[in-house]
Structure 1
Amino acid sequence: MNRLLPNSRAVFMTFALVVVAAAILLAMGRNPICECGTVKLWHGVVQSSENSQHISDWYSPSHFTHGLIMYFVAWLLWKKLRLFGGRPARWALPIAVFVEAAWEVVENTPMVIDRYRAVTVSFGYSGDSVVNSISDIGWMTIGFLVASRIPAKYSVALAVFLELLTLYTIRDNLTLNVVMLFWPIEAIRQWQAGG
Protein backbone atom coordinates (compact mmCIF):
# COMPACT_ATOMS: atom_id res chain seq x y z
CA MET A 1 0.00 0.00 0.00
CA ASN A 2 1.17 3.51 -0.70
CA ARG A 3 1.61 5.52 2.46
CA LEU A 4 -1.10 8.01 3.37
CA LEU A 5 0.98 10.10 5.73
CA PRO A 6 0.10 13.65 6.76
CA ASN A 7 1.91 16.82 5.79
CA SER A 8 2.72 19.49 8.41
CA ARG A 9 -0.72 21.13 8.20
CA ALA A 10 -2.41 17.76 8.63
CA VAL A 11 -0.18 16.96 11.64
CA PHE A 12 -1.20 20.29 13.19
CA MET A 13 -4.86 19.46 12.52
CA THR A 14 -4.39 16.04 14.10
CA PHE A 15 -3.02 17.56 17.32
CA ALA A 16 -5.75 20.21 17.30
CA LEU A 17 -8.42 17.50 17.07
CA VAL A 18 -6.94 15.70 20.07
CA VAL A 19 -6.95 18.93 22.09
CA VAL A 20 -10.57 19.63 21.09
CA ALA A 21 -11.58 16.08 22.07
CA ALA A 22 -9.92 16.50 25.48
CA ALA A 23 -11.69 19.83 25.98
CA ILE A 24 -15.07 18.33 25.05
CA LEU A 25 -14.55 15.38 27.41
CA LEU A 26 -13.58 17.73 30.24
CA ALA A 27 -16.63 19.91 29.50
CA MET A 28 -18.76 16.74 29.70
CA GLY A 29 -17.49 16.26 33.25
CA ARG A 30 -15.14 13.35 32.56
CA ASN A 31 -12.40 12.92 35.15
CA PRO A 32 -9.01 14.07 33.81
CA ILE A 33 -7.31 11.06 35.43
CA CYS A 34 -8.33 8.01 37.43
CA GLU A 35 -10.22 8.80 40.63
CA CYS A 36 -7.49 6.76 42.34
CA GLY A 37 -5.26 9.80 41.84
CA THR A 38 -2.57 8.11 39.74
CA VAL A 39 -1.79 7.64 36.07
CA LYS A 40 -0.44 4.20 35.26
CA LEU A 41 1.20 3.13 32.02
CA TRP A 42 -0.68 -0.21 32.25
CA HIS A 43 -3.70 -1.42 34.17
CA GLY A 44 -4.58 -5.03 33.42
CA VAL A 45 -7.61 -5.76 35.62
CA VAL A 46 -10.70 -5.48 33.44
CA GLN A 47 -13.35 -5.83 36.13
CA SER A 48 -12.13 -2.96 38.31
CA SER A 49 -12.87 0.70 38.86
CA GLU A 50 -9.49 1.53 37.29
CA ASN A 51 -10.25 -0.08 33.94
CA SER A 52 -10.39 2.50 31.12
CA GLN A 53 -8.75 5.06 33.42
CA HIS A 54 -5.05 4.79 32.54
CA ILE A 55 -2.75 5.04 29.52
CA SER A 56 -3.15 1.42 28.44
CA ASP A 57 -5.29 -1.58 29.34
CA TRP A 58 -6.66 -4.69 27.69
CA TYR A 59 -8.80 -2.54 25.39
CA SER A 60 -5.80 -0.67 23.95
CA PRO A 61 -5.27 -3.43 21.32
CA SER A 62 -8.80 -2.74 20.06
CA HIS A 63 -7.94 0.91 19.52
CA PHE A 64 -4.70 -0.09 17.79
CA THR A 65 -6.80 -2.30 15.52
CA HIS A 66 -9.09 0.68 14.84
CA GLY A 67 -6.01 2.34 13.35
CA LEU A 68 -5.24 -0.67 11.15
CA ILE A 69 -8.83 -0.67 9.91
CA MET A 70 -8.93 3.09 9.37
CA TYR A 71 -5.73 2.96 7.35
CA PHE A 72 -7.25 0.28 5.13
CA VAL A 73 -10.42 2.35 4.67
CA ALA A 74 -8.34 5.44 3.82
CA TRP A 75 -6.26 3.44 1.35
CA LEU A 76 -9.42 2.05 -0.22
CA LEU A 77 -11.03 5.48 -0.54
CA TRP A 78 -8.03 7.46 -1.70
CA LYS A 79 -5.91 4.99 -3.61
CA LYS A 80 -8.30 2.38 -4.95
CA LEU A 81 -11.42 4.50 -5.53
CA ARG A 82 -9.40 7.66 -6.33
CA LEU A 83 -11.58 9.75 -4.04
CA PHE A 84 -10.97 13.44 -4.78
CA GLY A 85 -8.42 12.41 -7.41
CA GLY A 86 -6.20 10.99 -4.64
CA ARG A 87 -4.88 14.48 -3.80
CA PRO A 88 -6.10 14.93 -0.20
CA ALA A 89 -4.71 11.57 0.93
CA ARG A 90 -2.44 13.44 3.36
CA TRP A 91 -5.58 14.26 5.34
CA ALA A 92 -6.31 10.57 5.99
CA LEU A 93 -4.76 10.57 9.48
CA PRO A 94 -6.60 13.67 10.74
CA ILE A 95 -9.85 12.20 9.42
CA ALA A 96 -9.11 8.92 11.24
CA VAL A 97 -8.30 10.87 14.43
CA PHE A 98 -11.55 12.81 14.03
CA VAL A 99 -13.53 9.55 13.76
CA GLU A 100 -11.75 8.04 16.78
CA ALA A 101 -12.16 11.24 18.82
CA ALA A 102 -15.84 11.38 17.93
CA TRP A 103 -16.21 7.80 19.14
CA GLU A 104 -14.43 8.64 22.41
CA VAL A 105 -16.86 11.51 23.00
CA VAL A 106 -19.93 9.40 22.14
CA GLU A 107 -18.62 6.43 24.17
CA ASN A 108 -18.54 8.65 27.25
CA THR A 109 -22.12 9.90 27.00
CA PRO A 110 -24.57 8.62 29.62
CA MET A 111 -26.54 6.80 26.90
CA VAL A 112 -23.58 4.68 25.76
CA ILE A 113 -22.22 4.15 29.29
CA ASP A 114 -25.67 2.87 30.32
CA ARG A 115 -25.79 0.65 27.22
CA TYR A 116 -22.44 -0.93 28.13
CA ARG A 117 -23.70 -1.57 31.65
CA ALA A 118 -26.95 -3.08 30.39
CA VAL A 119 -25.73 -5.45 27.69
CA THR A 120 -22.07 -6.28 28.37
CA VAL A 121 -20.10 -7.70 31.28
CA SER A 122 -18.94 -4.15 32.07
CA PHE A 123 -21.48 -3.86 34.88
CA GLY A 124 -19.58 -1.15 36.76
CA TYR A 125 -18.37 0.77 33.72
CA SER A 126 -18.51 4.50 34.40
CA GLY A 127 -16.78 5.81 31.29
CA ASP A 128 -13.18 6.66 30.49
CA SER A 129 -10.90 9.20 32.08
CA VAL A 130 -9.69 11.90 29.71
CA VAL A 131 -6.18 10.42 29.92
CA ASN A 132 -7.55 7.06 28.78
CA SER A 133 -9.61 8.56 25.96
CA ILE A 134 -6.66 10.55 24.64
CA SER A 135 -4.48 7.44 24.96
CA ASP A 136 -7.08 5.46 23.00
CA ILE A 137 -6.80 8.04 20.22
CA GLY A 138 -3.02 7.64 20.46
CA TRP A 139 -3.25 3.84 20.16
CA MET A 140 -5.43 4.25 17.07
CA THR A 141 -2.87 6.67 15.62
CA ILE A 142 -0.05 4.20 16.26
CA GLY A 143 -2.07 1.46 14.53
CA PHE A 144 -2.68 3.77 11.56
CA LEU A 145 1.02 4.62 11.28
CA VAL A 146 2.09 0.98 11.64
CA ALA A 147 -0.34 0.02 8.87
CA SER A 148 1.20 2.71 6.68
CA ARG A 149 4.61 1.03 6.97
CA ILE A 150 3.89 -2.68 6.70
CA PRO A 151 2.32 -4.82 3.96
CA ALA A 152 -1.45 -5.28 4.18
CA LYS A 153 -1.14 -9.01 4.93
CA TYR A 154 0.88 -8.17 8.07
CA SER A 155 -1.75 -5.66 9.17
CA VAL A 156 -4.41 -8.35 8.82
CA ALA A 157 -2.26 -10.88 10.70
CA LEU A 158 -1.60 -8.35 13.45
CA ALA A 159 -5.30 -7.53 13.81
CA VAL A 160 -6.21 -11.23 13.99
CA PHE A 161 -3.44 -11.86 16.54
CA LEU A 162 -4.63 -8.99 18.76
CA GLU A 163 -8.25 -10.15 18.53
CA LEU A 164 -7.28 -13.71 19.51
CA LEU A 165 -4.95 -12.52 22.29
CA THR A 166 -7.60 -10.41 23.98
CA LEU A 167 -10.28 -13.05 23.37
CA TYR A 168 -8.11 -15.61 25.15
CA THR A 169 -6.93 -13.28 27.91
CA ILE A 170 -10.06 -11.33 28.86
CA ARG A 171 -12.86 -13.02 26.87
CA ASP A 172 -13.41 -9.79 24.98
CA ASN A 173 -12.10 -8.04 21.88
CA LEU A 174 -13.14 -5.50 19.27
CA THR A 175 -15.42 -7.94 17.46
CA LEU A 176 -17.28 -9.02 20.61
CA ASN A 177 -17.45 -5.45 21.84
CA VAL A 178 -19.25 -4.37 18.65
CA VAL A 179 -21.53 -7.42 18.69
CA MET A 180 -22.48 -6.95 22.33
CA LEU A 181 -23.02 -3.22 22.01
CA PHE A 182 -25.30 -3.41 18.96
CA TRP A 183 -26.71 -6.98 18.94
CA PRO A 184 -26.28 -8.39 22.46
CA ILE A 185 -26.28 -12.17 22.76
CA GLU A 186 -26.96 -13.51 26.23
CA ALA A 187 -24.86 -16.65 25.70
CA ILE A 188 -21.82 -14.50 24.90
CA ARG A 189 -22.47 -12.31 27.92
CA GLN A 190 -22.64 -15.36 30.20
CA TRP A 191 -19.44 -16.80 28.67
CA GLN A 192 -17.65 -13.48 29.14
CA ALA A 193 -18.77 -13.40 32.77
CA GLY A 194 -17.14 -16.78 33.26
CA GLY A 195 -20.33 -18.79 33.27
Structure 2
Amino acid sequence: MSAIDARNPAQRQAVWLAACAAIVVLQAVIMYWMGRIPICECGYVKLFEPIANGPGNSQHLADWYTPSHIIHGFLFYGLAHLLLRRRPIAAGLLLALVIEVGWELLENSPIIIDRYRAATISLDYYGDSILNSVMDTIFMALGFLFAWRAPVAATVAIAIVFEIFTGWLIRDNLTLNVLMLVYPLEAVKAWQSSL
Protein backbone atom coordinates (compact mmCIF):
# COMPACT_ATOMS: atom_id res chain seq x y z
CA MET A 1 0.00 0.00 0.00
CA SER A 2 1.50 3.31 -1.01
CA ALA A 3 1.63 6.41 1.16
CA ILE A 4 -0.47 9.48 0.47
CA ASP A 5 1.23 11.77 -2.03
CA ALA A 6 1.09 15.24 -0.42
CA ARG A 7 1.32 16.82 -3.89
CA ASN A 8 -1.78 15.02 -5.16
CA PRO A 9 -4.86 17.23 -4.47
CA ALA A 10 -7.32 14.34 -4.97
CA GLN A 11 -5.53 12.22 -2.36
CA ARG A 12 -5.37 15.13 0.10
CA GLN A 13 -9.08 15.81 -0.42
CA ALA A 14 -9.83 12.13 0.19
CA VAL A 15 -7.95 12.27 3.49
CA TRP A 16 -9.90 15.37 4.58
CA LEU A 17 -13.20 13.70 3.63
CA ALA A 18 -12.26 10.51 5.48
CA ALA A 19 -11.57 12.63 8.56
CA CYS A 20 -15.00 14.27 8.12
CA ALA A 21 -16.71 10.88 8.02
CA ALA A 22 -14.71 9.69 11.03
CA ILE A 23 -15.80 12.66 13.15
CA VAL A 24 -19.47 11.87 12.49
CA VAL A 25 -18.96 8.20 13.36
CA LEU A 26 -17.14 9.30 16.52
CA GLN A 27 -20.13 11.49 17.40
CA ALA A 28 -22.48 8.50 17.24
CA VAL A 29 -20.12 6.32 19.30
CA ILE A 30 -19.64 8.96 22.01
CA MET A 31 -23.37 9.59 22.19
CA TYR A 32 -23.94 5.86 22.63
CA TRP A 33 -21.36 5.85 25.45
CA MET A 34 -23.22 8.84 26.97
CA GLY A 35 -26.33 6.65 27.17
CA ARG A 36 -28.30 8.34 24.38
CA ILE A 37 -30.91 6.16 22.68
CA PRO A 38 -30.27 5.18 19.04
CA ILE A 39 -33.77 6.08 17.78
CA CYS A 40 -36.99 7.41 19.26
CA GLU A 41 -38.32 5.42 22.20
CA CYS A 42 -41.51 5.08 20.15
CA GLY A 43 -39.65 2.39 18.18
CA TYR A 44 -39.96 3.85 14.69
CA VAL A 45 -38.31 6.54 12.58
CA LYS A 46 -40.15 9.44 10.94
CA LEU A 47 -38.77 11.63 8.17
CA PHE A 48 -40.11 14.72 9.98
CA GLU A 49 -41.53 15.33 13.46
CA PRO A 50 -44.15 18.10 13.12
CA ILE A 51 -44.83 18.67 16.84
CA ALA A 52 -42.18 21.04 18.18
CA ASN A 53 -42.88 20.49 21.88
CA GLY A 54 -43.90 16.85 21.71
CA PRO A 55 -42.03 13.74 22.81
CA GLY A 56 -40.94 12.99 19.21
CA ASN A 57 -39.06 16.27 18.84
CA SER A 58 -35.29 15.76 18.54
CA GLN A 59 -35.85 12.03 18.05
CA HIS A 60 -36.39 11.58 14.30
CA LEU A 61 -34.60 12.45 11.05
CA ALA A 62 -35.75 16.08 10.96
CA ASP A 63 -37.87 18.49 12.99
CA TRP A 64 -38.56 22.21 13.25
CA TYR A 65 -35.00 22.76 14.56
CA THR A 66 -33.44 21.35 11.37
CA PRO A 67 -33.34 24.84 9.78
CA SER A 68 -31.22 26.01 12.72
CA HIS A 69 -28.63 23.35 11.93
CA ILE A 70 -28.63 24.33 8.28
CA ILE A 71 -27.95 27.90 9.40
CA HIS A 72 -25.09 26.56 11.55
CA GLY A 73 -23.62 25.30 8.29
CA PHE A 74 -23.99 28.73 6.69
CA LEU A 75 -22.23 30.37 9.63
CA PHE A 76 -19.48 27.76 9.84
CA TYR A 77 -18.81 28.14 6.13
CA GLY A 78 -18.31 31.86 6.73
CA LEU A 79 -15.91 31.09 9.57
CA ALA A 80 -13.99 28.54 7.50
CA HIS A 81 -13.81 30.98 4.61
CA LEU A 82 -12.21 33.55 6.92
CA LEU A 83 -9.81 31.18 8.66
CA LEU A 84 -8.98 28.57 6.02
CA ARG A 85 -9.28 30.44 2.75
CA ARG A 86 -6.19 28.78 1.23
CA ARG A 87 -7.06 25.27 2.39
CA PRO A 88 -9.25 22.72 0.59
CA ILE A 89 -12.99 23.07 1.18
CA ALA A 90 -12.91 19.69 2.95
CA ALA A 91 -10.60 21.22 5.58
CA GLY A 92 -13.23 23.88 6.24
CA LEU A 93 -15.92 21.21 6.38
CA LEU A 94 -13.86 19.30 8.94
CA LEU A 95 -13.60 22.43 11.09
CA ALA A 96 -17.37 22.91 10.82
CA LEU A 97 -17.98 19.27 11.75
CA VAL A 98 -15.70 19.47 14.78
CA ILE A 99 -17.61 22.53 16.02
CA GLU A 100 -21.04 21.01 15.32
CA VAL A 101 -20.19 17.63 16.83
CA GLY A 102 -18.77 19.40 19.88
CA TRP A 103 -22.03 21.32 20.24
CA GLU A 104 -24.15 18.18 19.74
CA LEU A 105 -22.23 16.38 22.48
CA LEU A 106 -22.50 19.37 24.83
CA GLU A 107 -26.19 19.86 23.97
CA ASN A 108 -26.87 16.28 25.02
CA SER A 109 -25.00 16.54 28.31
CA PRO A 110 -26.94 16.91 31.57
CA ILE A 111 -25.78 20.52 32.07
CA ILE A 112 -27.32 21.77 28.81
CA ILE A 113 -30.38 19.51 28.97
CA ASP A 114 -31.12 20.87 32.45
CA ARG A 115 -30.48 24.43 31.24
CA TYR A 116 -32.94 24.01 28.37
CA ARG A 117 -35.56 22.62 30.73
CA ALA A 118 -35.08 25.41 33.29
CA ALA A 119 -34.65 28.45 31.04
CA THR A 120 -36.70 27.71 27.93
CA ILE A 121 -40.11 26.34 26.98
CA SER A 122 -38.51 22.93 26.37
CA LEU A 123 -39.80 21.41 29.60
CA ASP A 124 -40.04 17.94 28.06
CA TYR A 125 -36.57 18.00 26.45
CA TYR A 126 -34.44 15.07 27.56
CA GLY A 127 -31.87 15.16 24.77
CA ASP A 128 -31.61 13.94 21.20
CA SER A 129 -31.65 10.41 19.89
CA ILE A 130 -28.36 9.42 18.26
CA LEU A 131 -30.13 9.37 14.88
CA ASN A 132 -31.45 12.93 15.32
CA SER A 133 -28.13 14.26 16.54
CA VAL A 134 -26.21 12.74 13.63
CA MET A 135 -28.83 14.09 11.22
CA ASP A 136 -28.44 17.54 12.80
CA THR A 137 -24.74 17.28 11.95
CA ILE A 138 -25.50 16.13 8.41
CA PHE A 139 -27.94 19.02 7.90
CA MET A 140 -25.21 21.39 9.13
CA ALA A 141 -22.85 19.88 6.54
CA LEU A 142 -25.48 20.35 3.82
CA GLY A 143 -25.87 23.98 4.87
CA PHE A 144 -22.08 24.40 4.74
CA LEU A 145 -21.90 22.94 1.24
CA PHE A 146 -24.83 25.06 0.08
CA ALA A 147 -23.14 28.23 1.37
CA TRP A 148 -19.93 27.20 -0.39
CA ARG A 149 -21.69 27.07 -3.77
CA ALA A 150 -24.52 29.61 -3.44
CA PRO A 151 -24.29 33.38 -3.70
CA VAL A 152 -23.90 35.08 -0.33
CA ALA A 153 -27.17 36.97 -0.83
CA ALA A 154 -29.09 33.71 -1.38
CA THR A 155 -27.55 32.14 1.72
CA VAL A 156 -28.41 35.18 3.87
CA ALA A 157 -31.94 35.34 2.44
CA ILE A 158 -32.57 31.66 3.18
CA ALA A 159 -31.27 32.07 6.75
CA ILE A 160 -33.61 35.02 7.30
CA VAL A 161 -36.58 33.12 5.85
CA PHE A 162 -35.80 30.09 8.06
CA GLU A 163 -35.57 32.31 11.17
CA ILE A 164 -38.78 34.21 10.43
CA PHE A 165 -40.75 31.11 9.42
CA THR A 166 -39.79 28.97 12.42
CA GLY A 167 -40.11 31.96 14.75
CA TRP A 168 -43.64 32.54 13.47
CA LEU A 169 -44.65 28.88 13.33
CA ILE A 170 -43.20 27.45 16.55
CA ARG A 171 -42.10 30.67 18.31
CA ASP A 172 -38.53 29.45 18.38
CA ASN A 173 -35.55 29.61 16.06
CA LEU A 174 -31.75 29.74 16.25
CA THR A 175 -31.67 33.34 17.47
CA LEU A 176 -34.25 32.76 20.22
CA ASN A 177 -32.67 29.45 21.15
CA VAL A 178 -29.27 31.07 21.73
CA LEU A 179 -30.81 34.04 23.54
CA MET A 180 -32.82 31.85 25.91
CA LEU A 181 -29.89 29.54 26.57
CA VAL A 182 -27.45 32.37 27.32
CA TYR A 183 -29.68 35.13 28.72
CA PRO A 184 -33.23 33.90 29.35
CA LEU A 185 -35.93 36.55 29.32
CA GLU A 186 -39.23 35.91 31.05
CA ALA A 187 -41.11 37.96 28.45
CA VAL A 188 -39.78 35.76 25.62
CA LYS A 189 -40.52 32.59 27.59
CA ALA A 190 -44.09 33.78 28.26
CA TRP A 191 -44.58 34.61 24.56
CA GLN A 192 -43.22 31.22 23.52
CA SER A 193 -45.43 29.43 26.04
CA SER A 194 -48.60 31.16 24.83
CA LEU A 195 -48.65 29.20 21.56
Work out whether the TM-score is over 0.5.
yes
CA–CA distance in structure 1, aligned partners of residues 87 and 149 of structure 2: 20
Select 2:26's aligned residue among 20, 32, 36: 20
**Cα deviation code 1:11-50 (max 9, x no counterpart):** 1111100000000000000000000001111001011111
Q: Aligned pairs, how many?
A: 184
Shift of 1:78: 2.6
Shift of 1:87: 3.5
Structure 1: stretches of 5+ with no match in the other structure: 1-5, 80-85
Q: What is the identity percentage for the equivalent residue pairs of Structure 1 and Structure 2?
A: 47
Q: Which gives a bigger RCO, structure 1 or 2 (Cα 8 Å, sep 6+)?
A: 1
State the AA in 2 paired with 1:55.
L
Please tell me whether Structure 1 or Structure 2 has the larger radius of gyration of its CA atoms. Answer: 2
Q: How well do the aligned residues superpose, as a CA RMSD in angstroms?
A: 1.2
Scaled by the length of structure 2, the TM-score of the pair is 0.92
4+ residue runs over 4 A deviation:
none
Scaled by the length of structure 1, the TM-score of the pair is 0.92
Select 2:47's aligned residue among 41, 50, 56: 41
Select 1:7's aligned residue among 3, 7, 13: 13
CA–CA distance in structure 2, aligned partners of residues 87 and 134 of structure 1: 26
State the AA in 2 paired with 1:161.
V
Task: Sort the Cα spacing of 1:149 and 1:89 in 2 relative to 1 into closer, same or farther, 3 A.
Answer: closer
Select 1:63's aligned residue among 48, 64, 69: 69
CA–CA distance in structure 1, aligned partners of residues 122 and 41 of structure 2: 18
Select 2:81's aligned residue among 75, 80, 94: 75
Structure 2: stretches of 5+ with no match in the other structure: 1-11
SS of the counterpart of 1:37? coil
CA–CA distance in structure 2, aligned partners of residues 88 and 151 of structure 1: 19
Shift of 1:89: 5.1
